[in-house]
């Protein structure tokens, strides 16, 4: 059996979140530095910048804080993506900001993540921002959460501090839908329990952060039960080699497809059988989420972008009236009875906001039913009506077919990210 190459390795997307100055960027810098993922010239620039700023050690946070405003303030504003790989797995990190006014940036970074690292400052314990980020992580249905209790060096590596924060977080998270939580005491500045085990915390018997990231099971995070294939593009080469080829290209949002499977096309409801599944490297015998493939059918059906190929006996819900949880991302407030453009999988439609049910107080998880003004970074439950039916699943069942975005048609800005309830 041939050894797996870089392209065949499993990919883990994870995001970091926490309050301001909890050490998120330093932690990522430490992960890259200790796993030997930084090039020598990058390291030289880091050493040079750190010296110019009068710092004794290399400032690892500068690796991800790219914007000048971030470096000057020593904080993260934008979502910074970093890529690195170890022999076991490849990773994409979204370093998201901790400030309240950048909640929308955190939603952006966390929307595709398999795992979230929540940083907690050992001196301050669980703060308002920690609760906010934990709530967003559970709202976005991130399957795995790792709570890293950072700056253990400033509390003399005391196990009681770690145990107290662990108990506090468990108490809060019992109200949330989080499937898998792990706790690790670390010091990002000194590298304790990040890549290498700490000699100063011999009371901690769990794994290091990198070991956990390399070995956590993510194969079952995708929905492999409900077959969903939103068509993005119809492939018609009409060349001498392929005069009659007609394939439907897209990314599988759920389930497993095989040649000879009986499938149904929505919205028409016509049925056919899969003739072949083609990829860049030739035909394959089965395709599953999140693969990008081109499917050909035995019958010539009228299929275009925005249609969905599903199994005959397992079709998604279809409807024009939806209840969604939205995170509002625009300075302009939500307009009741306002009209917005909507994108869901590969389908585009328009919608009207029918009703605002309630707003969420993120810090104590209470519903605010008397305040219906939805502004920047607010999270609320609303109901909408669309111009054409959408084929959807609940967000908790399928993150791809259960999510949508709203767009302001006059400015073309994305104003909200929505999760179908």
User: Residues with Cβ < 8 Å from 13, sequence gap 6 or more?
Assistant: 91, 92, 94, 112, 113, 114, 115
Mean pLDDT rounded to a whole number for the chain: 90
Is residue 70 pLDDT above 80, yes or no?
A: no
* pLDDT tens figures, 170-194: 998 988 888 899 999 999 989 999 9
Assess whether pLDDT exceeds 60 at residue 2: no
pLDDT given at position 198: 93
Give the residue extent of every domain in the chain: 11-221, 228-311, 317-420
pLDDT band, very low/low/confident/very high, at 78 (cuts 50, 70, 90): low
Question: Can you name the CATH fold of 228-311?
Answer: Elongation Factor Tu (Ef-tu); domain 3 (2.40.30)
- Report d(CA 87, CA 210) in Å as an integer: 12
pLDDT of residue 145: 96
Please tell me which residue, 356 or 50, carries the higher pLDDT value.
Answer: 356
| Lowest mean pLDDT segment, chosen from 132-136, 213-217, 272-276 | 132-136
The lowest-confidence range among 124-128, 213-217, 306-310, 404-408 is 124-128
How many Å apart are CA 250 and CA 248, to the nearest integer? 7
CATH 3.90.950.10 describes domain 11-221 = no
The mean per-residue pLDDT over the stretch 294-320 comes to 96
For 224-346, list the strands marked E by DSSP. Answer: 228-230, 233-235, 247-251, 256-257, 262-266, 271-279, 282-284, 287-288, 292-297, 308-311, 317-328, 339-344
Cβ–Cβ < 8 Å for 368, 358:
yes
Percent of the chain with pLDDT over 90: 65
DSSP state of 346: T
- Tell me what the mean pLDDT of segment 19-38 comes to: 84
Between 174 and 102, whose confidence is greater?
174
Q: Considering only 106-110, 131-135, 247-251, 380-384, which range has the smallest mean pLDDT?
A: 106-110
Class in CATH terms, 317-420: mainly beta
> Do the first three CATH levels of 228-311 and 317-420 match, i.e. the same topology?
yes
Candidates 213, 206, 178, 195; CA nearest to 10 is 213
* pLDDT tens track for 105-114: 778 878 889 9
Between 7 and 170, residue with greater pLDDT: 170
Torsion of CA 221, 133, 413, 69, to 10 degrees: -120
Question: Which of 244-253, 363-372, 407-416 is least confident?
Answer: 363-372
Q: Which pLDDT does position 18 carry in this prediction?
A: 80
Residue 167 DSSP label: H
Confidence of residue 230 (pLDDT cuts 50, 70, 90): very high
Q: Which residue has the tokens 């969905």?
A: 308
As a whole number of angstroms, the distance between CA 361 and CA 363 comes to 6
Is the pLDDT reported for residue 224 higher than 80?
yes
Evaluate if residue 68 carries a pLDDT over 60: no
Residue 149 CA to residue 163 CA, distance in Å, equals: 10
Q: Say which range, 111-115, 322-326, 406-410, has the weakest mean pLDDT.
A: 111-115
């Amino acid at each position: 059996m041939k050894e797996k190459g870089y392209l065949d390795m499993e990919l883990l997307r994870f995001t970091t979140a926490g309050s301001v100055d909890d050490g998120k960027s330093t932690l990522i810098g430490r992960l890259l530095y200790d796993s030997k993922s930084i090039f020598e010239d990058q390291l030289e620039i880091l050493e040079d910048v750190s010296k110019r700023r009068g710092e004794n050690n290399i400032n690892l946070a500068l690796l991800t804080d790219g914007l000048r405003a971030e470096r000057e303030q020593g904080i993260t504003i934008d979502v910074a993506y970093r890529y690195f790989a170890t022999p076991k797995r490849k990773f994409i990190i979204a370093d998201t900001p901790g400030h309240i006014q950048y909640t929308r940036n955190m939603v952006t970074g966390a929307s595709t993540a398999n795992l979230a690292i929540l940083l907690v400052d050992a001196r301050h314990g669980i703060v308002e921002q920690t609760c906010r980020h934990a709530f967003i992580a559970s709202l976005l249905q991130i399957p795995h959460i790792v709570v890293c209790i950072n700056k253990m060096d400033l509390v003399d590596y005391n196990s009681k501090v770690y145990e107290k924060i662990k108990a506090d977080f468990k108490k809060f998270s019992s109200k949330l839908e989080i499937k898998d939580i792990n706790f690790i005491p670390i010091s990002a500045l000194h590298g304790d329990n990040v890549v290498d085990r700490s000699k100063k915390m011999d009371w901690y018997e769990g794994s290091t952060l990198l070991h956990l990231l390399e070995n956590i099971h993510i194969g079952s995070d995708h929905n492999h039960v409900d077959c969903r294939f939103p068509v993005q593009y119809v492939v018609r080469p009409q060349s001498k080699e392929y005069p009659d080829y007609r394939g439907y290209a897209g990314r599988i949002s759920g389930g497993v497809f095989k040649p000879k499977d009986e499938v149904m096309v929505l919205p028409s409801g016509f049925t056919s059988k899969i003739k072949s599944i083609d990829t860049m490297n030739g035909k394959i015998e089965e395709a599953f989420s999140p693969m990008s493939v081109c499917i050909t059918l035995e019958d010539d059906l009228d299929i275009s972008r925005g249609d969905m190929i599903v199994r005959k006996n397992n079709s998604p819900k279809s409807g024009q009236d939806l209840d969604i949880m939205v995170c509002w991302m625009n300075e302009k407030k939500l307009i009741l009875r306002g009209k917005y453009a909507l994108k869901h999988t590969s389908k585009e439609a328009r919608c009207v906001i029918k009703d605002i049910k309630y707003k969420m107080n993120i810090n104590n998880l209470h519903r605010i039913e008397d305040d219906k003004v939805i502004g920047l970074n607010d999270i609320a439950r609303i109901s909408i009506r669309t111009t054409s039916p959408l084929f959807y699943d609940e967000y908790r069942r399928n993150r791809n077919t259960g999510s949508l975005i709203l767009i302001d048609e006059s400015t073309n800005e994305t104003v909200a990210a929505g999760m179908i309830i």
